[in-house]
Amino acid sequence: MSEVGGYEKLAGMINVGQFRSRTCGGPTRRAFLKLGASLPLVFGRPDLLSAVETGSGPRAKSVLVVWLWGAPSHLDTFDPKPDAPSEYRGPFSTIATRTPGVRFTDLLPRIASISDRFALARSHVSTQSGHPDGGTVALTGFHEKPGPVQPNFGAIVARHRGRDGDLPPFLSVGRGIIQDSVRIVEGYGGGTFGKAWDPFQVVVKNDGSVDLPALDLLEGITPGRISDRRSLLKQIDVGRRRLAAAGIDDWERTYQMAYGLLANPSAREAFDVTRESESTRQRYGYTHFGQSALVARRLIEARVPFVQLNWSQTVEAITPNFDFGWDTHIYNFEMLMDRHCPLLDRVLPELMNDLQERGLLEETLVVVMSEFGRTPKINPRAARDHWPQCYFSLWSGAGVPTGGTIGESDRLGEHPLTSPITPLMVGTTISELAGMTTQDRAGLNVLPGGTLIDELF
């Protein structure tokens, strides 16, 4: 490793190449660049992105948000109401968990068997019942309108931490920027910090192969061009224009991040699940979410400060050309039974076990959450609609107390019986566990008025 910007030092040699290869893991295109020491002189000061001083070590060196996009039914998963009337309770039975007095539906037996490793919060509330708005509130703590849109919790932690090494500090693992059938979620990224603080998108396929869309910025760079300074500068101008067209003003940071990522073999390895044993990959399962979770674990292992692992890109559970989110206005019980819960029940315990066995859980905060819950009362189509008045989250790692519950919902799961947990509290708590103080937040002008979920401290 070079001391200069973290790039691989090749004694002045510039060795830049592209390849398209490997369908069974690792970056699949434009995924190989070795840059010489001269490049940082072109791309900016090498210390530009050095880590921000974070003071004493945070409890959570990394944060992993498992984003169940589309909003799972809380009654049919982690907050069942078996004694509610038939028009509420749904068809599933309940099973005991390792948390005394807590039962889950029988769709989640493996997660029930590790419930002592997380805290279950059952008293969330949101103020938005639509997906994009609800997603923004859940991920930023604030409404989209009136703007400006606030930064995603990941952007906040990333900016506080800065960049340490060649991996971006905020990565979104899944299939791209989250959206519904109409538009993207404004709160997916940098918000008031600017697009330069958007998450670095990591697109994962079922077989675990990874695509990094940001590397499109490097399209067209060839060894010949790199060795010709005039051509290189011309190419850089093309990249700059691409970024400007995309509304990204911090060209230098973004471009350097892409180069840094590709120039460092150890950074690239973080995305390469082929380095995992076959049995590990099988345990996660050869599904998009399973292999995405494995990539996310590797990124946590590489000490990325904030990873958002997306269940799906779109919310819709069954809609043409959308990838089966948790938005179950129809087929709620069938989709949960046939697909969503078995998949979650396979992947989440593997992820938690893996983090624990590798000693990562002590310093990694894992939060499983969504934008809201679903109607406790079954709708006319024998399914469930949006319900921001009450929903759940799971918290694990980073020393948070586990094996218990935070808050409680009423007998029908309609409202919290205890103090409600707001998205702003979620963001404030995540940032605090990630090492930010009130002063840090004020300094970045983020999460004003936020309070902590006390039970997690």
Partner 1 sequence: MNCSSRTGVTRPDRGGGPDLFTPTRLPAAPVQLILALLVLTATTTISAAERQLTDDHRYKRDPVFLDANTLIYVVQARPEQLQLVRRDLKSGKQRPVHKDETRSELEPAVSPDGRFLAFLQSRSAASVGMVIEDTRQQTTAEIPPASGFAGMRSPSFSHDGKRVLYVFAEGGRQKVFSCNTSAGDRKVLVDASGICNWPSVSRDGRMLLYGSTRDGNYEIYRASALDGSSPQRLTHHRAQDVRPRFSPDGRRVVFVSNRDGNREIYVMGADGSGVTRVTEHPERDDYPTWHPDGKRIVYVAERKGGFDLRMRDLP
Interface with partner 1 (CB under 8 A): 82-83, 86-87, 89, 91-97, 103, 106, 109-110, 112-114, 175, 181, 205-206, 277, 279, 281-288, 290, 316-324, 327, 329-331, 333-334, 337-339, 342, 346, 349-350, 353, 378-383
Q: How far is the CB of 322 from partner 1 (least distance, A)?
A: 6
Residue 29 or residue 329: which is nearer to partner 1 going by CB?
A: 329
Q: How far is the CB of 196 from partner 1 (least distance, A)?
A: 29
- Residue-wise over 188-206: b if at least 16 C-beta within 10 A, else e? bbbbbbbebbbbbbbbbbe
Residue 82 or residue 359: which is nearer to partner 1 going by CB?
A: 82
CA distance 225 to 214: 20
CA distances to 208, 285, 390 from 272, in Å = 8, 16, 38
CA distances to 195, 279, 406, 422 from 152, in Å = 11, 35, 24, 15
The interaxial angle of helices 131-140 and 423-433, nearest 10 deg, is 40
Q: How far is the CB of 438 from partner 1 (least distance, A)?
A: 39
Q: How far is the CB of 329 from partner 1 (least distance, A)?
A: 4
List of E strands, 137-271: 170-174, 200-204, 209-211
Q: Which two tokens stand for residue 230?
A: 């005039």
Helices and strands in the chain: count of H runs, count of E runs: 15, 16
CA distance 357 to 397: 12
273 alpha-carbon distance from chain centroid = 17
- Residue matched to tokens 């990562």: 360
CB neighbours of 163 closer than 8 A, spacing ≥ 6? 49, 50, 51, 169, 257
Q: How far is the CB of 303 from partner 1 (least distance, A)?
A: 26
Residue 124 or residue 283: which is nearer to partner 1 going by CB?
A: 283
Residue 19 or residue 286: which is nearer to partner 1 going by CB?
A: 286
Q: How far is the CB of 95 from partner 1 (least distance, A)?
A: 6
Residue 332 or residue 429: which is nearer to partner 1 going by CB?
A: 332
Q: Is the peptide bond before 388 cis (omega within 30 degrees of 0)?
A: no
Q: How far is the CB of 326 from partner 1 (least distance, A)?
A: 12
Q: How far is the CB of 276 from partner 1 (least distance, A)?
A: 12
Residue 214 or residue 317: which is nearer to partner 1 going by CB?
A: 317
CB neighbours of 27 closer than 8 A, spacing ≥ 6? 210, 211, 212, 215, 262, 268, 271, 272
CB neighbours of 243 closer than 8 A, spacing ≥ 6? 217, 249, 251, 254, 255
Residue 92 or residue 387: which is nearer to partner 1 going by CB?
A: 92
Q: How far is the CB of 70 from partner 1 (least distance, A)?
A: 11
CA nearest neighbour of 246 among 216, 274, 291, 204: 216
Spell out the alpha helix ranges (H) of 125-228.
Answer: 131-140, 153-161, 223-227
Residue 92 or residue 271: which is nearer to partner 1 going by CB?
A: 92
Q: How far is the CB of 433 from partner 1 (least distance, A)?
A: 25
Residue 210 or residue 262: which is nearer to partner 1 going by CB?
A: 210
The interaxial angle of helices 131-140 and 153-161, nearest 10 deg, is 30
Q: Which residues pair with 316 in a beta bridge?
A: 327
- Residue matched to tokens 């004020």: 442
Q: How far is the CB of 333 from partner 1 (least distance, A)?
A: 6
Residue 54 or residue 353: which is nearer to partner 1 going by CB?
A: 353
Residue 205 or residue 225: which is nearer to partner 1 going by CB?
A: 205
